[in-house]
Structure 1
Amino acid sequence: MKKFILITGASGAIGQAIALKLANRGYSLYLHYNQNQEAIQNLIHNLEAFDGEYIPIMADLSLPNGYQQLASQVFSLDGIVHNAGHSLYGLLQELAEEDTAKLLQVSVTTPLLLTKALVPKLIAKKEGAIIVVSSIWGQTGAAFEVAYSTVKGAQISFAKALSKELAPSGIRVNAVAPGAVETPMLSGFSPDELSAVREEIPLSRLGTPGDIANGVDFLLSEESSYITGHVLAINGGWYI
C-alpha cells in the first residue's frame, strides 16, 4: 500500500532534494508549489525513475485561505514536511509591515492551520510523522534577520508542543534546523561573504540540499521511531 507524504515548498532546492530522497525510499508525494510550475514539472520528470505517485498542488500559502486550497487536494496521508518559506533580510526598524505579515503567514500561521486541517488523517491511522524545516536562526537568532529568526523559533516551539499533543496518537513531530545551505537563498551574498561563513563552520563547508533531505528522511523513517519533539541541527557544527 502506498504511503503519501506532503511536501510544501517542493519547487525549491531543499524541497526538490527531499522529494527525490523520499521517492527513492518508495513514498508517493504531494508536491506543493506556488509560482514555479516549471521546477515542479522538471521534478516530476526526474521522479519518473521511481515507482510512486507524484501529485502537484498549486497554492499560495501567503494568503489566509491558501492552506484550505492545499488541504482540499490531499486525500490519503502518512506524513507532512513543512518546508515552504522564504528569507527576510534587513534591520528590524526598516522592515515593511506587509513583508513581515507575509512571512508570518507562510512560516507560522499556515503550517499551524494546515496541520490542524490534515492531522485527522494521521490520527485515523494511529501513525505518521510531521517534520518542520526550521533554521539555525530559530535556535540562536541572527542580526539583520530578526523577523526570520522569530518565525523559525516559532516553528521549533510548534514542533515541540505538537509532539506532546500527538504522541498518544502514535504521531511523531520533529524539526530540522539547517545552517548555511547552498541554495538560491544565499545568492545575495558575495563570494567573500560566503568564504567568511565557511571559515566559521567547523566542517569548513556549506551544507547541501541533500544534507537536509537526509535528515528529513531519517526523521520520517522507522529508524527514528522513538524520536519525537527533537530538533535535528544540520549545520556542520556551526551552532551546537
Structure 2
Amino acid sequence: MSNKIAVITGASRGIGRAITLKYAQMGYDVAICCHHNKERLEETAKEVRSMQVRCLTYVGNIGNYNDACTFFHEIETKLGSIDILINNAGISCFGLLQDTTPEQWDAMITSNLNSVFYCSKLAIPEMLSKKSGKILSISSVWGNVGASMEVPYSTTKGAINAFTKALAKELGPSNIQVNAIACGMIDTEMNAVLSEDDITAITEEIPAGRMGTPEEVAELAFAITKKNDYLTGQIITLDGGWI
C-alpha cells in the first residue's frame, strides 16, 4: 500500500519546514516548494528522504499560475494523488500603508493569497474524484483582528480566513475539509526583523510568556488533518492566549 501524499508550500524554512518533517515522520510522501532558496529546500528534502519516504521538490513562484501548474503536474506524474494540501507560502512587510509601494502590495497578494487560490484550485479535482481530502492554510492572528504597520499582510490573512470558510462550505458535501491556523508570534526568521526589545515587549503581552515554535504549529497542523472529518470551516488560533 502506497503512502499518503502531503503537499506543503513554502517549505524551505520555519513553519513549512517543520510541517514537512512532521508529515514525513508520520510516513507521508511529501511534495515541497519554495520561491528562491533551492539549497535550503534540498536540505529539507535530504532530511525527509532519510526517513525512507519520497520527497519531490520544486523551486518557483506558486503565486504564478503557470508555476503552480508545473508544480502540481510534477506531483501527479512523480508521486500520485494528493491527500493533504498545506498552504504555507507567504511573506511579510512592515511599514505604513502610505509608504507601501504598489509593487510591495502586488508581491504580498501574489505570495500570500494567489498561491492559496492556485494550489487549492489545482488540488481540488483529485480530491473530488476520491471524495476525500484536507486543505489547511497557515494564517495569522492579524487576519482575525488586523495589525497596525502590517495592513497588506493583515489583508491577505483576513482574505485567507474568508476563503477557508467559504471553500469549506463548497467542499463539505464532497467530504473535503478546509481549515486554517491563525498563528500568533512564532519563532521564525520572518520575525527576525524585530529587535530583542520588540520581542521582549510582545512576549510580555502573551499569557504563555513566550513565542510559539514551528514544531508546535506542525503538531497542530497534523492533528487537524489526521482524522476528524467533521472539523471544517474553522480558523483555529494558536497564539498562547495573546489575542
Using the size of structure 2 for normalisation, the TM-score is 0.94
Aligned to 1:212: 217
Compute the RMSD of aligned alpha carbons.
Answer: 1.2
DSSP 3-state at the match of 2:115: helix
Distance in structure 1 (CA, Å) of the matches to 2:15 and 2:4: 21
**Which ranges of structure 1 fall in alignment gaps of 5 or more residues?**
none
Farther-moved stretch of structure 1 (148-157 vs 26-35):
26-35
Aligned to 1:28: 29
DSSP 3-state at the match of 1:73: helix
Distance in structure 1 (CA, Å) of the matches to 2:120 and 2:187: 28
Aligned to 2:150: 145
Aligned to 1:238: 242
Distance in structure 1 (CA, Å) of the matches to 2:115 and 2:203: 33
1:110 is displaced (CA, Å) by 2.6
Distance in structure 1 (CA, Å) of the matches to 2:45 and 2:241: 34
2:230 corresponds to 1:226: yes
Q: What are the superposed Cα offsets for residues 67-89 of structure 1, whole Å, 9 maximum, x if unpaired?
A: 22222222121110000000011
Contact 1:62 1:103 (8 Å CA) reproduced: no
Aligned to 1:13: 14
- Percent sequence identity is 35
2:113 corresponds to 1:112: no
Q: What are the superposed Cα offsets for residues 24-59 of structure 1, whole Å, 9 maximum, x if unpaired?
A: 111110011121111111112212332311110122
1:64 is displaced (CA, Å) by 4.7
Aligned to 1:197: 202
Contact 2:48 2:54 (8 Å CA) reproduced: no
Aligned length: 238
Distance in structure 2 (CA, Å) of the matches to 1:173 and 1:51: 29
2:56 corresponds to 1:55: yes
1:65 is displaced (CA, Å) by 2.9
Q: Given the alignment, which residue of 146, 157, 173 partners 1:168?
A: 173
DSSP 3-state at the match of 1:132: strand
Contact 2:64 2:114 (8 Å CA) reproduced: no
Contact 1:159 1:175 (8 Å CA) reproduced: yes
**Which ranges of structure 2 fall in alignment gaps of 5 or more residues?**
none
Contact 1:122 1:128 (8 Å CA) reproduced: yes
Farther-moved stretch of structure 1 (102-111 vs 16-25):
102-111
Using the size of structure 1 for normalisation, the TM-score is 0.96
Contact 2:89 2:115 (8 Å CA) reproduced: no
